[in-house]
Amino acid sequence: MDSVQKFISENSHQFGYIMQEASRQWIEKDPDGALTVGTCNGFIQQYGDYHTILDKLQAIEGPKVPKKDVYKAIVSGHIYNTGLGSPDIEILTHVSNDTDDGEVYAGLEFELIDELEHYLEKKDDHFFTVLAYARFTSWQSQEGTEYDIEYDIHEINKIEDLDKGAEF
């Protein structure tokens, strides 16, 4: 047994302090490569090491992040004739995976009016629930790169309508 091993065995009541101090000194000598003191073994045994916990967190958070820049929303609302020659829309609920304060759905109401105003040919109003996909698009013009938002809207009339995917 060398002197370090002997010191540690004689001071086993201070394992945490010894590990912390060794880590602190190592960080001073090698800030990038030093190992640090982390979570207790009981926690690791129950939940996994740091990287396993990150993987689990990503699995939980993953569905909230848009896949391949396609956003998805379930929107319910009411489209109606205003009596002034143009329809209007009232959004009742809107749930989406847009984490940027709804920016991708900024023009959705206009798209919904275009998609649903045919119902107003036979009646004064229509309540709806839709699955709305959105994505940012860009193209080159003479003025440079221009950006827009493309929508794909599916009205939900039966449960099977939820299985439809975006058509872009």
Q: Examine the fold and report which residue of 47, 63, 79 is the final residue of a domain before the chain moves on.
A: 63
Model confidence pLDDT, tens digit, residues 107-137: 899 999 999 999 999 899 999 999 899 988 8
Model confidence pLDDT, tens digit, residues 72-116: 888 999 999 988 888 999 998 888 887 766 678 888 999 999 999
Q: Examine the fold and report which residue of 20, 39, 63 is the final residue of a domain before the chain moves on.
A: 63
Tell me: pLDDT of 144 over 70.
yes
**3-state SS string for the chain:** CCHHHHHHHHCHHHHHHHHHHHHHHHHHHCCCCCCCCCCCHHHHHHHCCHHHHHHHHHHHHHHHCCECCEEEEEEEEEEEECCCCCEEEEEEEEEECCCCCCHHHCCHHHHHHHHHHHHHHCCCEEEEEEEEEEEEEEEEECCEEEEEEEEEEEECCCHHHHHCCCCC
Whether 166 maps to a domain, the answer reads no
Same domain, 18 and 54: yes
Least confident of 11-15, 57-61, 103-107, 146-150: 57-61
Q: Examine the fold and report which residue of 63, 89, 106 is the final residue of a domain before the chain moves on.
A: 63
Alpha carbon 168 to chain centroid distance? 20
Domain that holds residue 135: 69-161
Tell me: pLDDT of 59 over 70.
no
pLDDT at 65: 47
Tokens 């982390």, residue? 38
Same domain, 152 and 114: yes
CA–CA gap between residue 79 and residue 111 (Å, rounded)? 12
pLDDT at 47: 58
Same domain, 50 and 102: no
How many domains in the chain? 2
Tokens of 110: 């206009």
Same domain, 128 and 146: yes
Mean pLDDT of the chain: 80
Higher pLDDT, 132 or 14: 132
pLDDT at 151: 92
